[in-house]
Structure 1
Amino acid sequence: MEHIDLTESVGAAPLRPAKAVSPSVRAWLFLTPSMLFLAVLVAASLLVLRMSIGEKGAEWSGFSLASYAQLAEPYYLKSLLLTLRLALFSALIAVALAIPVGYCMSRLQSPFLRRVFLAAVLLPLLVNLLLQSYGWLVILGPAGMLNQALMGLGLIDRPMMLLYNQTGVLMGLVQTAFPLAVLPIASAMRGVSRTYEEAAATLGASRVRVFCQVVLPMSLPGIFTGATLVFAYNASSFVVPLLLGGRRVPMLAVMVHDQIAPLMNWPAASAAGVVLIVTTLAIMTFSEYVTGRRRRMLEASQ
Structure 2
Amino acid sequence: MQNPPITRQEDAAKPRRNQPFSATARAWLFLTPSMLFLAVLIVASLLVLRMSVGTKGAEWSGFSLDSYAQLFEPYYLKSLLLTLRLALISAVIAVILAIPVGYTMARLKSPLVRRVFLAAVLLPLLVNLLLQSYGWLVILGPAGMLNQALKGMGLITRPIMMLYNQNGVLMGLVQTAFPLAVLPIASAMRGISRSYEEAAATLGASRFQVFRQVILPMSLPGIITGATLVFAYNASSFVVPLLLGGRRVPMLAVMVHDQIAPLMNWPAASAAGVVLIITTLAIMTLSEFVTGRRRRMLEASQ
2:133 maps to 133
For 1:26-56, what per-residue CA distance to the aligned partner results, in whole angstroms no more than 9, with x for missing partners? 1111100000000000000000000000000
Who is 1:248 aligned against? 248
Cα distance in 2, alignment partners of residues 154 and 117 from structure 1: 35
Alpha-carbon distance between aligned partners in 2 of 1:178 and 1:145, rounded to the nearest angstrom: 22
TM-score (norm 1): 0.94
1:19 and 1:96 map into 2 onto residues whose CA distance is 53
Tell me which amino acid in the other structure corresponds to 1:99: I
Q: Match of 1:294, as an amino acid?
A: R
Output the CA distance in 2 between the equivalents of 1:56 and 1:264: 8
Measured after TM superposition, the shift of residue 19 of structure 1 is: 2.5
Amino acid at match of 2:166: Q
| Whole-Å separation in 2 of the counterparts to 1:128 and 1:121 | 15
Matched with 1:203 is 203
| 2:154 is the counterpart of 1:150 | no
Question: What amino acid is the match of 2:198?
Answer: E
Measured against aligned partners, the alpha-carbon deviations of 1:96-119 in whole angstroms (never above 9, x if no partner) come to 000000000000000000000000
2 CA distance for matches of 1:207 and 1:270?
Answer: 51
Alignment match, 1:294: 294
Separation (CA, whole Å) in 2 of partners of 1:20 and 1:206: 61
1:52 is matched with 52
Q: Please list the CA deviations of residues 79-101 of structure 1 after superposition, one character each: whole Å capped at 9, or x if unmatched.
A: 00000000000000000000000
User: How do 1:30-49 residues align onto structure 2 when only pairs under 5 Å count?
Assistant: 30-49=30-49
Partner amino acid, structure 2, of 1:187: S
Cα drift, residue 20 of structure 1: 5.0
In terms of mean alpha carbon deviation, does 276-285 or 152-161 score higher? 152-161
Aligned to 1:190: 190
Shift of 1:173: 0.2
Return the letter of the residue paired with 1:38. L
Q: Secondary structure at the match of 2:210?
A: helix
Aligned mates of 2:38, 2:67 — CA distance in 1: 27
* Aligned-partner Cα distance in 1 for 2:216–2:20: 48
| Aligned-residue offset at 1:152 | 1.3
Distance 2:69 2:57 in 1: 18
CA-based RMSD of the aligned residues comes to 0.9
- Return the alpha-carbon distance in structure 2 between the equivalents of residues 291 and 278 of structure 1: 20
Match of residue 163 from structure 2: 163
- Paired residues in the alignment total 287
**Structure 2: 5+ residue stretches without partners:** 1-15
The answer to whether 1:113 aligns with 2:110 is: no
| Partner Cα separation in structure 1 for residue 20 and residue 143 of structure 2 | 70
Query: Residues of 2 paired with 1:146 and 1:197: CA distance?
Result: 41
Correspondence for 1:11: none
Cα-to-partner distance string for 1:231-274 (whole Å, 9 max, x where unaligned):
00000000000000000000000000000000000000000000
Cα offset, 1:223, TM superposition: 0.2
CA deviations on 1:180-236 (whole Å, 9 max, x unpaired) are 000000000000000000000111111011000000000000000000000000000
Deviation at 1:25, TM superposition (A): 1.1
Return the index of the structure with the highest Cα Rg.
Answer: 1
Partner Cα distance (2:158, 2:73) in 1 = 39
Once the two structures are TM-superposed, the CA of residue 134 in structure 1 deviates from its matched residue by 0.1
**Deviant stretches of 4+, over 4 Å:** none
How far apart, CA to CA, are the structure 1 residues paired with 2:121 and 2:107? 16
Q: What secondary structure sits across from 1:243 in the alignment? A: helix
Q: Secondary structure at the match of 1:123?
A: helix
Q: 1:235 matched to which residue of 2?
A: 235
Partner Cα separation in structure 1 for residue 244 and residue 115 of structure 2 = 32
Q: Distance between the aligned counterparts of 2:40 and 2:59, measured in 1?
A: 20
Q: CA deviation at 1:155?
A: 1.8
Which letter maps to 1:44?
A
**Percent of residue pairs bearing the same amino acid type:** 87
2:11 corresponds to: none
State how far apart, in whole Å, the 1-side matches of 2:287 and 2:238 are: 24
CA distance in 2: counterparts of 1:96 and 1:154, whole angstroms: 31
Displacement of 1:21: 2.3
What is the match of residue 76 of structure 1?
76
1:19 maps to 19
Quote the Cα distance in structure 2 between the aligned partners of 1:191 and 1:32. Answer: 31
Give, as a single letter, the amino acid of the residue that structure 1 aligns with 2:35: M
CA distance in 2, matches of 1:147, 1:250: 25
